[in-house]
Structure 1
Amino acid sequence: MNIIIDVKEQELNIEVKVCGEIDAYTAPKLKERIYSYSEKQSIKMVVDLSDVNYMDSTGLGVFVGVFKNIRANNGELKLINLSDRLKRLFEITGLADIIDITSKIEGGI
């Protein structure tokens, strides 16, 4: 499965729309596309996962790394429009307690 990553940057606000599956094959592409933004000071990144129907532990690892970098640089990360399945994945791993996630936001980003 392929992955499509659309990034819109407006000063310190980064909007990311991910479509497809995030797995061992596609996670490196996601990391390559968004990781550099996480190294900037005080960014606010919103990642729309409404069109992601599958994610495995490698995908979680990308978001943990991005989250840690953003937090270390006084920024914010928010994951929005998670399916119930993705939300459950973040909950059972305990990541829902540290990363700001929202199940559904009408209209996306």
Structure 2
Amino acid sequence: MNQPEKRAHIQINLGSIDGFPLVTLCGECDAFTAPFTHGAVGALIDAGYTGIIIDITDLRYMDGAGFEALDSCCTKIKTVDGMLLIVNPGTNIENIYELLREKDSCEIERDVESALARLRNTQGRK
């Protein structure tokens, strides 16, 4: 008997806060969904945004592919003197954050308000 196929799921919500893009990720960011995350954030960078907040409060799971997608976006935005801030680490992916903190490309804030305050002090608007 065949088992039902389990598919990873991610919901990517694009919004803004005080003129800065706010990307909210919900669900799972893994090998199947990381390209969608990378595409959405990469499109914002390509559109000229140099200050982006990614809220992962509701992200239940992230694997190495998800980590690489975010790391790649962090690296890309720094090539245009921008800042991408990842906020609200959950307990399920705290280990990924520890890896992100060890890399120079990604920057972490504990909440959206802290990230917004940091971006306001930069020239991170489009």
SS at match of 1:82: coil
Amino acid at match of 1:32: G
Q: Distance in 2 between matches of 1:72 and 1:40?
A: 14
Q: Cα RMSD between the aligned structures?
A: 2.5
Q: TM-score, normalised by structure 1?
A: 0.82
Distance 1:42 1:27, change over 3 A: closer
Q: How many residues align?
A: 106
Counterpart of 2:89, as a letter, is: L
Q: In the alignment, residue 105 of structure 1 is paired with which amino acid?
A: D
Q: CA deviation at 1:9?
A: 4.5
Bigger Cα Rg = 2
Separation in 2 of the partners of 1:62 and 1:78?
14
Aligned-pair identity in percent equals 23
Q: 1 CA distance for matches of 2:29 and 2:90? A: 14
State how far apart, in whole Å, the 1-side matches of 2:112 and 2:80 are: 29
Unmatched 5+ stretches in structure 1: none
Aligned to 1:48: 55
Per-residue deviation, residues 37-94 of structure 1 (Å, max 9, x unmatched): 2235461100000000100000011111101110001111100011133232231x3x
State how far apart, in whole Å, the 2-side matches of 1:54 and 1:19 are.
9
Residue in structure 1 matched with residue 111 of structure 2 by the alignment? 105
Q: CA deviation at 1:12?
A: 6.2
Cα offset, 1:8, TM superposition: 1.8
Extract unaligned runs of 5+ from structure 2.
1-7, 117-126
Measured after TM superposition, the shift of residue 100 of structure 1 is: 1.4
1:18 equivalent in structure 2: 25
- After TM superposition, which residue ranges in structure 1, 4 or more long, deviate above 6 angstroms? 106-109
